[in-house]
A and B are shown apart, each in its own frame.
Chain A
Amino acid sequence: MNDFSELENELKKLRPAPPSPELFSRIERALVDVAEENKSTDNIVRPDRFRVNWVSLGLGLAAAAVLLIVARFETNRPAKQIPAVALLTPVPRDKPGAINDRLVPAGFTQVVYNTRDEGLQFANGSVQPMRRVRYQTHETLQWRNAATGASLRVSYPSEQVELIPVSGQ
């Protein structure tokens, strides 16, 4: 019991004025209107419920494209290691139905990664100048066992020099 309990009791004896009966009817009308409004909106299939979310769609497509690109890189990883400047031999094919349980040559790759023009040269006793071009390459030989799926790959650097006759005309 605090010092103000008597005062609080006296205050509670004061009863707030009740609302007018009209207020009840006004609220009732308003709530009925709200209910009908909700009911009518429930029956309508709003177009925006089926509206395409373009941002989500765009993000989804972008993610799918990235996945496809990554997947493509993953599957082509061995080929990716070969630069664009390459010479590929045709892959020998076995006869249909015949599977050899041995390593057979599967490919040869020659990558020219540097070309240097060393200028005009005179070869042994020649009077005609020749342009000497030096190619630095990286060659790869591949064998594959069609039966077991095993493969063997040998890579080595190589260098080639080419002499190109120069016409004086």
Chain B
Amino acid sequence: MDNVATHEDWKVCFSSLSPGLLLFARQWLRSPADAEDVVQEAFIRFWRRNHNIGNRGLLYATVRSIALDFVRRDSRRARREADASSETAGSVEPQFEQLDDSQRPLASAVDRLPLDQREVLVMKIWDELTFAEIATALGISQNTAASRYRYALVALKKSLQPQ
């Protein structure tokens, strides 16, 4: 994506990025409102510093950092979010739109993935980041990012197999 420098461009840019950014933020914040707050703060901070939006890894790293700060700020909220993000807990609100019956098991399986695998999966599938960009965003190596992605797919495949 090109560097966005004009006022009109940020809307085009944000329209294409925001669903993925929100989904990414909701890995820590199950409330859509909180996720929107985090994405807003990250996007504006990113914009103010005149970053190249093409550096998506850095943008996602900003979202992640602000989301984690958000969780840490309020201990009560942190407990609630930690409970919500536990493996046994289901989604408080749907992360995906217009799920049909055949898609619900898959969405639910995604939700049950460990956080480190799920964040890589979200960035790879719905945000279409490269492993290099994912590695930048998470501060891990590309090999680790690729491994986590593969583990996530294996876990999903396993959870979808008929018992």
Which A residues are closer than 8 A to B by beta carbons? 4, 7-8, 10-20, 22-24, 26-28, 30-31, 34-35
Number of chain B residues close to chain A: CB under 8 A: 35
Q: CA A31 – CA B5 in complex, angstroms?
A: 12
Complex contact A23–B18 (CB within 8 A): yes
Q: Point out the residues of chain B lying under 8 angstroms from A16, CB to CB.
A: 19-20, 22-23, 95-97, 126
Complex contact A24–B96 (CB within 8 A): no
Complex contact B94–A7 (CB within 8 A): no
A-B pair count, CB < 8 Å, reads 82
Q: Point out the residues of chain B lying under 8 angstroms from A12, CB to CB.
A: 125-126
Q: CA A100 – CA B116 in complex, angstroms?
A: 97
Complex contact A27–B19 (CB within 8 A): no
Q: Point out the residues of chain A lying under 8 angstroms from B11, CB to CB.
A: 24, 28
**Which A-chain residue is minimally distant from B32 (CB atoms)?**
A17
With A7-B157, A24-B14 as contacts: A15 and B96 at CB distance below 8 Å: yes
Complex contact A23–B36 (CB within 8 A): yes
Which B residues are closer than 8 A to A by beta carbons? 7, 10-11, 14, 18-20, 22-23, 32, 36, 39-40, 43-44, 47-48, 94-99, 103, 106-107, 110, 121, 125-126, 150, 153, 156-157, 160
**Which B-chain residue is minimally distant from A35 (CB atoms)?**
B7
Q: Point out the residues of chain B lying under 8 angstroms from A30, CB to CB.
A: 40, 44
Q: CA A11 – CA B110 in complex, angstroms?
A: 9
> Besides A14-B106, A18-B97, A19-B18, 12 other CB < 8 A contacts?
A11-B156, A12-B126, A15-B19, A15-B96, A15-B97, A16-B23, A17-B97, A18-B18, A24-B14, A27-B40, A27-B44, A28-B11
